[in-house]
Amino acid sequence: MTWNPLSSRSTFRHPLIAGAVLGFVYGILARFAAGRDHGGDFFGVMTLAFLSIVPLALGFITVRVHPRPSWRYRIWAPWLPSAAMLVFCFLVGWEGAVCIIMGLPFVFIGSSIGGLLGGWSLLRGRRTSVAMALLPFAIGPLEHRVPVVDHVRRVETRIAIHASPAAVWAQVVEVPTIRAEETRPALFTTLGFPRPLNATLDHPGVGGRRFARFERGVLFIETITHWEPERHLRFTIDAQTDSIPPSTLDEHVTIGGPYFDVLTGDYRLEPLADGTVRLHLTSELRLTTHFDPYAQPWVDAIMRSIQENILEVLRARAERAANGAAAG
């Protein structure tokens, strides 16, 4: 005899309510367990076992309690507990907006696949349900045995500036505090990343250090490795991870953390025949996950958004300085 949450003894008589509650509780317990394994040695959040198999099991559990689920029910019903789980994780601070948005395809597609399996009569036994619920915890340790390879990405942005190389260079080397009205809405701020504030330089030339500050206590120390006035500035980047308050960035996307880092920055000024300057900004990024092919477009888009925001500020300031000098 198998337990049926829709029996006369069950509090939840409606299959959708019963399945949604069971799926939600399972998802929360799985996320709690994954969060406890900070090293990821057993079952971490940033694993395919969690991102793919947990939604699969959640969808299976949600649909299994329905005696005769339709195909439409199997596909869409798991989305209810999946969405509720994501909202809960956001409200209690387990996940930030960026991780939730990046995880949406995994969660919804995986839960629908699980729902399709949960409606299959051959898989509706109690043993199968228990095995499905435990599957992520069995796969997690196996996934940990697979080495994670660092992938280095290059993200390049550029902008045309109607100013001299000297005027542009002056804005690049040091960046006075950026006012809120100088920036515009961008992808990275929408996802909860802090805005850039300023950059100061302790001394010019190779070996000099730029201190790039962002909102909410984020600091990068940038050591200059190439210095060619009015032409080229390159530096390595050391994120001061220990000084960043825990509430500033989601731990899974913290720069300088185990999964993501920014390694170098590079400004290159290209004088053009029409008297303008094309300013190039290039960053090298390190990505270290088991799902890099999926994460790479997201990381590239976020970094490109940050760089475009910075370039827009530099252009406006350089052009304003050039126009002021011409008027004077």
Q: Is the domain of 107 the same as that of 90?
A: yes
Q: Is the domain of 56 the same as that of 177?
A: no
In a domain? residue 7: no
Q: Each residue of 4-26: b (16+ CB within 10 Å) or e?
A: ebbeeeeeeeebbebbbbbbbeb
In a domain? residue 9: no
Report residue 249 as tokens. 């960035």
Q: Is the domain of 224 the same as that of 293?
A: yes
Q: Could you read off the pLDDT of 72-104 as tens digits, one per residue?
A: 999 999 999 999 999 999 898 888 888 888 889
Report residue 172 as tokens. 């690049």
| Domain span at 88 | 15-144
In a domain? residue 286: yes
* Rounded mean pLDDT, 319-325: 83
Round to the nearest angstrom and report the end-to-end CA distance of the chain. 91
Domain count for the chain: 2
In a domain? residue 10: no
Report residue 81 as tokens. 């507990």
pTM of this structure = 0.82
In a domain? residue 229: yes
User: Percent of the chain beyond pLDDT 70?
Assistant: 89
When mean pLDDT is compared across 51-55, 209-213, 263-267, the lowest value belongs to 51-55
Instruction: Give the pLDDT band (50/70/90) at residue 10.
Output: very low
The whole-angstrom separation of Cα 271 and Cα 160 is 10
The whole-angstrom separation of Cα 320 and Cα 223 is 29
Q: Which residue has the higher pLDDT, 257 or 264?
A: 264
Helix (H, G, I), strand (E, B) or coil at 47: coil
Q: Is the domain of 66 the same as that of 125?
A: yes
The whole-angstrom separation of Cα 142 and Cα 122 is 27
Residue ending a domain, among 144, 176, 209, is 144
User: 86, 297, 284, 306: which is closest to 192 by C-alpha?
Assistant: 306
